[in-house]
Amino acid sequence: MSTDFHLACALLPDGWTDNVRLCVGPDGTITALATREDPRPDDTRLGTVLPGMANLHSHAFQRAMAGLSERRGPGTDSFWSWRDVMYRFLDRLDPDAVEAIAAMVQVEMLEAGFTTVGEFHYLHHTPDGSPHDDPGEMAARICTAAETTGIAVTLLPVFYRWSGFNMAPATLGQRRFVCDPDQYSTLVERARHHARSLPHVRVGIAPHSLRAASIDDITAILPLAEEGPVHIHIAEQIAEVEACRDATGHRPVRWLLDRQPVDERWCLVHATHMAADEIRDLAASGAVAGLCPLTEASLGDGLFPAVDFLAAGGRFGIGSDSHIRIDLAEELRLLEYGQRLTRRERNVLSAPGVSTGRHLFDAACEGGAQATGQPTGRIAVGHRADLVELDERHPVLTGRTGDSRLDSWLFAGDGRQVRSVHVGGMARVMDGQSTCREMVSRRYEKTLQTIMADWTA
Ligand SMILES: [Zn+2]
């Protein structure tokens, strides 16, 4: 059965267009698009509609520990002290908990206006480090969560082998992540198996970082990506850049670009600390920089060199990573505000005369679709009908037309201006709320009560 939509006003690839009719096929793809059309009686009628954006970087379980590492320790707190809390927290998580948290995260993403998630999942094994009976159990749970919430998902099972450059053995805290290339191959195969239960899914691979995967490891596992995306954390922390330089004589982005076939299939997550040649060559590679501004701020990572990277033609998308907040508008706002604060200028990341909101939104939609390998981010024939309807009656959007809608939403708003969300033509958010929020949040609450029962700061 196909569904038809009438959009009073939609952001199409060539701009804002009134009275758009879409025909959506049974697989959720837009099969026909006409403009200047009146609604027909059976059409699903929507108001102001944007294309759905992919959230390209998520570690779902970290949402449940948001706010638990905001107490200063005895020394200087950093990414590494946050990571200690994270390791302690994940020791409490079993597959049921992972599924409950992932579903909650996906509900929050949908309500924020994200329609796809790239789930970079590294919590593979049981608490003692032995594999589950099904080594792909955790991938299965993420798929089950997506079946419940309706979000499109790109599974990125993580390859994690070492605790540092020079192949330092993994630590006790990392025992739930660790695989050799053979075990990893089984994991990816199981992830593909479970993914078959979902309508809107891709599978890629994710060497965790150059700390956790050597260049030779990456070469060994690369064929497992098949046509899917390849994601890696890189150059997030100064200490990591220095350790890489000590071990290899090179900075991490340089080391990767010179030794792997980095191209459009790749997503380099963070890439915060780059020298001029790395910025230039990463941009030229066609890979996406996976930016997570709220997490990068929360963890004290540093500021991505957005001005130079965009000037070199670099592509980027947005991820909410640790999920300290899940808010599409706030991520893009912080990306721009970081530049404003350091440069003491305004409207830094757009060209003269161009709406900053529109410019950032378009780029993040394109980059997110590319990095997740999903046919999303555009309202066009052949793309999935991922539609985000804004509430034009909300005070933040009152009286706004054209690109000023995006400027007002992204710079003055948040998830509260998202009225409805369709993924592949299926309604997943109505009146601002996920259609399964109640059930998912009840289960999440029960799960968290157990996890937090004897948690000490
Ligand atoms: Zn991450």
Which is the catalytic residue, given 270, 273, 359, 383? Answer: 270
Q: How far is Cα 57 from Cα 77, in angstroms, rounded to an integer?
A: 24
Ligand 1 centroid to residue 271 C-alpha, Å? 11
Is the pLDDT confidence value at 2 over 70? no
End-to-end CA distance of the chain: 53
Q: Are residues 293 and 213 in the same domain?
A: yes
Q: What is the pTM of this model?
A: 0.97
Domain membership of residue 152 (yes or no) is yes
Q: Are residues 236 and 143 in the same domain?
A: yes
Q: What share of the chain is helix, strand, coil (3-state, %, to 5)?
A: 40, 25, 35
Asked if 202 contacts 373 with a C-beta cutoff of 8 angstroms, the reply is yes
pLDDT of the residue at 80: 83
Average pLDDT, the chain: 96
Is the pLDDT confidence value at 1 over 70? no
Ligand 1 centroid to residue 223 C-alpha, Å? 22
Q: Are residues 301 and 431 in the same domain?
A: no
Taking only the tens place, the pLDDT of each residue in 145-180 is 999 999 999 999 999 999 999 899 999 989 999 999
Ligand 1 centroid to residue 70 C-alpha, Å? 18
Q: Are residues 345 and 389 in the same domain?
A: no
Provide DSSP, 254-317. Answer: HHHHHHS---TTEEEEE--S--HHHHHHHHHHTPEEEE-HHHHHHTT-----HHHHHHTT-EEE
Domain membership of residue 133 (yes or no) is yes
Q: What average pLDDT score do residues 281-295 get? A: 98
Question: Which CATH number covers residue 210?
Answer: 3.20.20.140
Taking only the tens place, the pLDDT of each residue in 184-214 is 999 999 999 999 999 999 999 999 999 999 9
Ligand 1 centroid to residue 333 C-alpha, Å? 20
Q: Are residues 67 and 111 in the same domain?
A: yes
Domain membership of residue 418 (yes or no) is yes
Ligand 1 centroid to residue 249 C-alpha, Å? 25
Ligand 1 centroid to residue 292 C-alpha, Å? 8
Question: Which CATH number covers residue 398?
Answer: 2.30.40.10
Tally of structural domains, the chain: 2
Q: Are residues 140 and 285 in the same domain?
A: yes
Ligand 1 centroid to residue 26 C-alpha, Å? 34
331 confidence band (pLDDT: 50, 70, 90)? very high
Domain membership of residue 445 (yes or no) is no
- Is 321 noted as a catalytic residue in this protein? yes
Q: Are residues 367 and 419 in the same domain?
A: no
Is the pLDDT confidence value at 40 over 70? yes
Token pair for 457: 């700061």
Domain membership of residue 444 (yes or no) is no
Of 354, 372, 390, the one marking the end of a domain is 372
Q: Are residues 398 and 283 in the same domain?
A: no
* 3-state secondary structure (DSSP) of residue 250: coil
Domain membership of residue 254 (yes or no) is yes
Domain membership of residue 446 (yes or no) is no
* 3-state secondary structure (DSSP) of residue 414: coil
Domain membership of residue 447 (yes or no) is no
Which is the catalytic residue, given 301, 321, 391, 407? Answer: 321
Q: Are residues 287 and 429 in the same domain?
A: no
Q: How far is Cα 450 from Cα 240, in angstroms, rounded to an integer?
A: 35
Is the pLDDT confidence value at 450 over 90? yes
Q: Are residues 163 and 41 in the same domain?
A: no
Where b means 16+ CB within 10 Å and e means fewer, 350-369 reads beeeebbbbbbbbbbbbbbb
Q: Which residues form the domain of 167?
A: 60-372
Percent of all residues in the chain with a pLDDT value above 90, rounded to a whole number:
93
Q: What average pLDDT score do residues 311-337 get? A: 98
How big is the chain by its Cα radius of gyration, in Å? 21
Q: Are residues 73 and 175 in the same domain?
A: yes
